[in-house]
Amino acid sequence: MASHKNDFLEWVEKQNVEVFSKLSEVTTEFKEDIVAGQTCTFKNDYGVVFPGKTIMGFCKPTSRGRCVYLDYDCYWLPAKLSNIILDK
């Protein structure tokens, strides 16, 4: 599995995107704090699961509730918290 971390970091710098390292820095809606570097399973809106994804950071939630940047092909598109299942 190829990492997209370098692409993500380059994109953040070029686009001047503000990325946070903790979920609590962008929302207080959730009692459990999630941090960059944790691994998770991403479940898309069609129910397809993608295990072993690394959380690379967070952004302020979009109008669709997207705020989690993952190390996957669409690193530039934040995922919804409801699509994240944290690994134990």
pLDDT tens by residue, the chain, 88 residues: 689 999 999 999 999 999 999 999 999 887 778 999 999 999 999 999 999 999 999 999 999 999 999 999 999 999 999 999 999 8
Structural domains in the chain (count): 1
pLDDT at res. 41: 97
Burial 21-42 (b: 16+ CB within 10 A, else e): eebbbbeeeeeeebebeeebeb
pTM of structure: 0.93
| Residue 55: alpha-carbon gap to chain centroid | 5
Q: How far is CA 80 from CA 6, 10, 47, in A?
A: 22, 22, 13
pLDDT at res. 28: 85
pLDDT at res. 30: 78
pLDDT at res. 2: 85
Its domain, for residue 26, covers: 5-86
Question: What are the structure tokens assigned to 11, written together?
Answer: 């994109």
